[in-house]
Structure 1
Amino acid sequence: MEFLSAYSPAWLAGLVLALLVTGAIAGVLAGLLGVGGGIVIVPVLYHLFTLLGVDESVRMHVAVGTSLAAIIPTSIISARAHYKRGGLRPELLKPLIPGALVGVLIGSLLSGVFSGQVLAAIFAVVALLVALNMAVSKSLSLRDGLPGRFGTGLIGVFIGGLSTLMGIGGGTLSVPMLSAFRTPMHMAVGTGAALGVVISLPGAAAYLINGLGVPARPPASLGYVNLLGLALIVPMTMLTAPLGARIAHAINAQLLRRLFALFLAITAARMLLGAFDL
């Protein structure tokens, strides 16, 4: 690990602690708000890689790929926890899966073409919109129930494609969209957690393959998936995701949603400014 030898033990200990805390927060938020841990993991990894001097050409790709890989176990645990509490109904999830898989394929192909700057800009812009949605107390309401097969398929493509480009679980986009179709919040959160499994598995595999042999990646990276970050983040997300799901069924999370929206807006704005060196 010659790459890390330039940093003091205290700095490296801080890095480890930051990754552990990131995993813990990501897990709680995945279970509590259905936003997917990636909305926390990606910006934190992006800024940590910036501090470590990881080349800009791969910085965002590795952050996204590592996040998608970390989301796999988190989404599985969170989805199971919601299913046990009656917060996940297969009849709501199944119509979204084909479109989501098509979206993952499109997002995976585009991720191999887009620069890190473009990926960072996409993440920042969508994250700002998500933050705005979370800060508004009254959700958008369109109609009762999802549209027909074609419309639901398009929704799945949108969620799968953007989630793959951003390195986030499907819940970040699916929860507000399902809420707009007047799906009960607990059902929307549980469905979002399950979509995270559908999206993160093929998405992480795509980033792993796309990054094989690419120069300037940080050490301990397999493709665009950093194994060191994965090893520190995943155990914490697995421990805390069920806790978030329990809290979601016990409290009104509106204040927490607004506080997280503020954090997300600040983080996204910093990423957007950094992407264009402003």
Structure 2
Amino acid sequence: MTWVLAYLALGLFSGFFAGLLGIGGGLMMTPALAMMFAAQAGFPADETLHLALGTSMATILFTSISSLRAHHRHGAVLWPVVVTITPGILCGTLLGTLIVARVPAQPLAVFFAFFVCFVAVQMLFNVKPKAARELPGSAGLFGVGSVIGGVSSLVSIGGGSLTVPFLTWCNVRVQNAIGTSAAIGLPIAIGASIGYVFNGWGRPGLPEWSLGFVYLPALVCLAAASMAAAPFGAKLTHSLPVATLKRIFAVLLVLLAAKMLWGIAGAA
């Protein structure tokens, strides 16, 4: 019951900030889950990060649906872009999870920590690319989708920190870039979740109630809590100091990733 409450609290916290800042909760959930799993009996030390990544991505599968619907209601989703980029997204996510399943926890944690630092710098300094070109054709979007899907599955995110800057760079309005990114988050979550289940299937030593690299008790709690908390965060977007909170959130992400990295290095 203690761990159920911990999963619920993490879901509420990450869901609230996802709604408030428009940032997916995967970057927060993954290091927190890795530390939680490492503290529990029955979780193999060399698989805690893989389980954290898989469970976090499966949670995004549920939260991305509500985000997509909200942006679609406001007419902010460029569906032709979503349809064209999705095949590349699916290929990238499946390849990314295949790589994750074969990479030990330590180098995987280092890559995750570096990516968190990249996102934190974006948030701290509000880095936004200037519009400099138009959207590429089908082949170009397939290539970009493969990269976005692959990196997203490696660090368990919905892709917003990559997709929004790319679309903005391609002269897409910010509102449409955010809405389209939210829609692209669904195929990212579907492809990566399938990949984490498939590549972890039958792996010896995984805890009971695991579906591949997805730990179902944590998934249920995280999905329910984050979906419940996200709307409250979204409502407070215009009444709280979002710029300041974004900087605090960025520092918190770096600290969480560093603590996870330290724990995995110490367990090796």
Q: Give TM-score, length-normalised by structure 1.
A: 0.85
* SS, match of residue 240 in structure 1: helix
Structure 1 residue 80: deviation in Å? 0.5
Structure 1 CA distance for aligned equivalents of residues 149 and 203 of structure 2: 25
* Residue matched to 1:70: 59
Contact 1:133 1:176 (8 Å CA) reproduced: no
* Residue matched to 1:7: none
**Which among 45, 57, 63 is matched to residue 33 of structure 2?**
45
* SS, match of residue 180 in structure 2: helix
Contact 1:38 1:67 (8 Å CA) reproduced: yes
* Residue matched to 2:150: 161
Q: Which amino acid aligns with 1:61?
A: H
Structure 1 CA distance for aligned equivalents of residues 201 and 50 of structure 2: 12
Q: Which residues in structure 2 correspond to 1:76-87 (within 5 Å)? A: 76-87=65-76
**Which among 18, 27, 35 is matched to residue 15 of structure 2?**
27
* Residue matched to 1:203: 192
Q: Which residues in structure 2 correspond to 1:1-278 (within 5 Å)? A: 12-13=1-2, 15-53=3-41, 54-141=43-130, 143-247=132-236, 253-277=242-266
Structure 1 residue 260: deviation in Å? 1.2
Query: What is the aligned-residue RMSD (CA, Å)?
Result: 2.4
Q: Which amino acid aligns with 1:22?
A: L
Structure 1 CA distance for aligned equivalents of residues 200 and 184 of structure 2: 24
Structure 2 CA distance for aligned equivalents of residues 180 and 254 of structure 1: 22
Structure 1 residue 185: deviation in Å? 3.1
Structure 1 CA distance for aligned equivalents of residues 244 and 22 of structure 2: 15
Q: Which amino acid aligns with 1:28?
A: F
Structure 1 residue 91: deviation in Å? 3.2
Identity of aligned residues (%): 38
Structure 1 CA distance for aligned equivalents of residues 229 and 71 of structure 2: 14
Contact 1:214 1:223 (8 Å CA) reproduced: yes
Q: Which amino acid aligns with 1:207?
A: Y
Structure 1 CA distance for aligned equivalents of residues 80 and 89 of structure 2: 15
Which ranges of structure 2 fall in alignment gaps of 5 or more residues?
Answer: none
* Residue matched to 1:3: none
Contact 1:37 1:168 (8 Å CA) reproduced: yes
Which ranges of structure 1 fall in alignment gaps of 5 or more residues?
Answer: 1-11
Structure 1 residue 122: deviation in Å? 1.8
Structure 2 CA distance for aligned equivalents of residues 230 and 112 of structure 1: 19
1:138–1:118 Cα change, 3 Å: closer
Q: Which amino acid aligns with 1:239?
A: A
1:34–1:96 Cα change, 3 Å: farther
Structure 2 CA distance for aligned equivalents of residues 35 and 111 of structure 1: 23
Deviation readout 1:35-58 (Å, 9 max, x if unpaired) = 322112111100101222522221
Structure 2 CA distance for aligned equivalents of residues 98 and 32 of structure 1: 30
Structure 1 residue 235: deviation in Å? 0.8
Task: Identify the range of structure 1 (166-175 vs 128-137) with the bigger mean alpha-carbon deviation.
Answer: 166-175
Structure 2 CA distance for aligned equivalents of residues 201 and 174 of structure 1: 17
Q: Which amino acid aligns with 1:37?
A: G
1:138–1:164 Cα change, 3 Å: closer
Deviation readout 1:103-137 (Å, 9 max, x if unpaired) = 11211221221122232222111111111111113
